[in-house]
């Protein structure tokens, strides 16, 4: 995968994370906060940028800390040699969560009244700490997406700033878009939200099936070391993809 492809992948992962049902509570709260200044669209836009900056700072900081910690402790070499054995079970668990075969309860990501007052006291600049707070409110889906997919991209391309930054912007893009729609038209918000909900439902199910399939493949090949009849076909496909890149 080229670095440009990794950037688009990180952006797509961020947007996909933002529209999932699990992080939706924090997104709705953020949309409500950013859309309050409907009479001043410029403030809505500025608040959206600050919210995106807050989320981005969290993901970049976590990436730097984790990567540096792995290198300092020697964990990186262990992960490089054993990662394939962990990916299979993780993908199976993730796929079952996406398909709702396993239901994990998680605290809702809303904002308390006390925190709301503190954020309100900062005015439009309150969007920055709000982005930080909501980025740290990981749920199973957002945590797996960041700690597995994004960090895998970061490790592959040795990009500790750009890729997590793009992912952070991606997680904030839907919120910024809805805040802008609130400033323009409430009816447009309803239509866009319904469409996004339908797309997110189908995306989650398709992703769950893909995760299960890949998880089964990795478990059979790397955990149980079972010879797979489709391996030559996959090797041929990988070769074609890498030659084109």
Per-residue pLDDT of 78-89, as tens digits, reads: 555 666 677 778
| % pLDDT > 70, the chain | 71
Q: If you average pLDDT over residues 168-184, what whole number do you get?
A: 81
The confidence score (pLDDT) of residue 59 equals 95
Q: How far is CA 59 from the centre of its chain?
A: 10
Residue span of the structural domain in which 96 resides: 3-244
Find, among 172, 171, 153, the residue nearest to 163 by Cα. 153
- Greater confidence (24 vs 228) lies with 228
Phi and psi based region of residue 228 (left: phi greater than 0; alpha: psi -120 to 50; beta: remaining) = beta
pLDDT tens digits, 13-66: 888 888 777 777 677 778 777 766 555 667 777 888 899 999 999 999 999 988
pLDDT bracket for residue 166 (50, 70, 90): very high
- pTM exceeds 0.95: no
pLDDT bracket for residue 165 (50, 70, 90): very high
Find, among 180, 224, 220, the residue nearest to 51 by Cα. 180
Domain count, the chain: 1
Residue 129 has pLDDT above 60, yes or no: yes
CB environment 17-47: b (16+ within 10 A), e (fewer)? bbbbebbbbbbebbbebbbbbeeeeebbbbb
């Amino acid at each position: 995968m080229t670095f440009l492809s990794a950037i688009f992948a990180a952006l797509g992962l961020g947007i996909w994370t933002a529209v999932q049902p699990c992080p939706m509570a924090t997104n709705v709260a953020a949309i409500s906060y950013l859309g309050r200044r409907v009479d001043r669209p410029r403030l809505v836009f500025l608040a959206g940028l600050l919210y995106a900056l807050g989320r981005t700072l969290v993901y970049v900081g976590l990436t730097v800390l984790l990567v540096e910690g792995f290198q300092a402790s020697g964990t990186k070499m262990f992960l490089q040699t054993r990662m394939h054995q962990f990916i299979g079970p993780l993908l199976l668990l993730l796929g079952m969560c996406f398909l709702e075969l396993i239901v994990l309860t998680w605290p809702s990501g809303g904002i308390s009244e006390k925190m709301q007052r503190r954020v309100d006291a900062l005015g439009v600049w309150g969007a920055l700490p709000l982005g930080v707070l909501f980025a740290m409110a990981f749920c199973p889906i957002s945590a797996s997406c960041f700690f597995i997919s994004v960090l895998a991209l970061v490790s592959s391309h040795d990009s500790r700033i750009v890729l997590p930054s793009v992912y952070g912007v991606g997680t904030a893009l839907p919120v910024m878009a809805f805040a802008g729609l609130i400033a323009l038209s409430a009816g447009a918000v309803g239509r866009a939200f319904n469409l996004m909900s339908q797309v997110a439902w189908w995306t989650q199910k398709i992703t769950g099936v893909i995760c299960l399939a890949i998880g089964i493949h990795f478990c059979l090949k790397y955990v149980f070391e079972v010879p797979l009849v489709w391996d030559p076909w996959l090797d041929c496909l990988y070769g074609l993809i890498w030659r084109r890149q």
